[in-house]
Structure formats: C-alpha cells, structure tokens
Amino acid sequence: MTSKEKQRLKREKFVEENGIILLENVSMNYPEQGAPAIDNISLRINKGEFVFITGDSGSGKSTMIKLLLRELKCTGGNVYVNGYNTKKLRHRQIPMFRRSLGVVFQDFRLLRDRNVYENVAFAQRIIEVPSNQMRRNVPSILSMVGLAGKYKSDVRKLSGGEQQRVALARALINKPSILLADEPTGNLDPNNSWEIMKMIEEINEMGTTVVVVTHSPEIVNAMKKRVVTMRKGIIVSDEEEGLYINED
C-alpha cells in the first residue's frame, strides 16, 4: 500500500469516527479586535447532515465558514474538514483540499465576462476535467438547477435567483462531499430564496453534507433542520430541528 493510500484510509477512518467536520476548542483572534471572533468552540457535523449556523452580525458565523474553507487559520484549537487538519495544511495543499468543498456566497461571485456555461465549466477546468466529459457534465448540472436553456446567457442579464442557481451549479459540478453556503438567500426575494433552499435540501438528500450560514428566521423555522446558534463568538445553542433564536 502506498503512502498516499494509507493517508486516504486514515482520513476516511477519521471522518467515520469523528464526523466530516470537527472543531475542537477553536478560537480565532484578529489583532485589531479586542474580543475574539470565535472563542473556544467545539462542534461536530456528521456526514450527510444539514446544519444551519445562525446568529446576529458579529456572532462569528462567517468567520467559521472562513475557517472551514481555510481562508483563515485558527489561532487556537484545531479544525478538521474531511479528515484534514486545516491548521497543518501547507499553502500548496489548500487548492487540493478545497476540491472536496462546494461554496455558495451571498454575492454570487460569478465571472462577469463569461456566460453561464463558462462560469460552471470554470470549476472543471481548474481540476483539468477532459473537454468531452465537461461537455456532458455542465449541461447536466445546469439542467438540475433549472437553467438548461440559459447556458449561453450573459450572467449580468440574469435575475438574482438565476445568478444564484449558476453559483450553485458551479459549486456542485465537481461533486463535493460538503456544500458551504454563506447567506445564499441574502440578496434574493422570498420566492427565489425558497427555490434555492429547496435545491440545497435536495442536494443534501442525495448525500452531500450541507452547512448554511443564514440570518433568516423564516427559512430556519420552516425547514426544521439542526440549528447551531452563535453569539459573540460562542455557541449558545445546538438543537436538532431547532428554531432561530433572536437576540434579547
């Protein structure tokens, strides 16, 4: 057995025993801030779970997403994602690590100079998927998100809901084990918000672990998923089929 195979089996065993996401006594301190953004929190998310991370502005929820993506390196404790200790990842290892993650942001982050097809295909080009496979994969995922007929469209001319569908297709095309969504409905009207959340729920039902950061009580309370509530950098509640907890 090669060293790479041994490492893969070790990661798979870790995920099986400890969860696909594990935070152990994690803190994140920014030098310019007095109080820590995240203060000694621990959290386990198992494979296939759907988890909402909620809390008011400044609670630490977006910092948590950045730690899971390894955009930030925690200043205390350890963050494990898919068996990787993100604190120990070298800079050159980060792109490979992120291939197992799909990410959707509030502001879509689409390539404004490319059409719908090219925005989604971009994620496949990064990992050097052969062109013949890409020509099958991109239409398939666009059909899944209801954009089969818009593959040539200019993304700048799409509605907000359509742009978020493109972003979702791009996040999913490489079949990530984890989908991280940071305020995915923040710029959408109620109808489009529900459509996007229904798609994310369907993706979860297909086996993808989903973590959604949101400040929408309506969505959280209606979907009846696990809810982790943060306040001033700590976890104040973690409930199965939880409700959105408003600040007093």
DSSP characters for 190-235?
Answer: HHHHHHHHHHHHHHHHTT-EEEEEE--HHHHHHH--EEEEEETTEE
Q: Indicate the pLDDT class of residue 120, thresholds 50, 70 and 90.
A: very high
Dihedrals phi, psi of 27, to nearest 5 degrees: -130, 150
Give the per-residue pLDDT at 10. Answer: 78
Going along the chain from its start, the domains and CATH numbers come out as 3-100+176-239 (3.40.50.300), 112-174 (no CATH)
Statement: residue 248 has pLDDT above 60? no
Query: Which DSSP letter does residue 48 get?
Result: T
152-207 pLDDT, tens digit per residue, is: 999 999 999 999 999 999 999 999 999 999 999 988 999 999 999 999 999 999 99
| Per-residue H/E/C for 14-38 | HHHHHCCEEEEEEEECCCCCCCCCE
CA dihedral 74, 80, 86, 89 (to 10 degrees): 150
Residue 213, exposed/middle/buried by CB under 10 A (0-12, 13-18, 19+)?
Answer: buried
- Orientation angle between helical segments 116-126 and 131-144, nearest 10 degrees: 130
| 24-29 mean pLDDT | 96
Strand partners, 237: 229
Q: Indicate the pLDDT class of residue 131, thresholds 50, 70 and 90.
A: very high
Give the per-residue pLDDT at 31. Answer: 81
Give the per-residue pLDDT at 225. Answer: 97
Kindly state the tokens that stand for 201.
């729920």
Q: Is 58 left (phi over 0), alpha (psi -120 to 50) or beta?
A: left
Statement: residue 101 has pLDDT above 80? yes
Give the per-residue pLDDT at 28. Answer: 96
Kindly state the tokens that stand for 41.
């929190």
Q: pTM for the whole thing?
A: 0.91
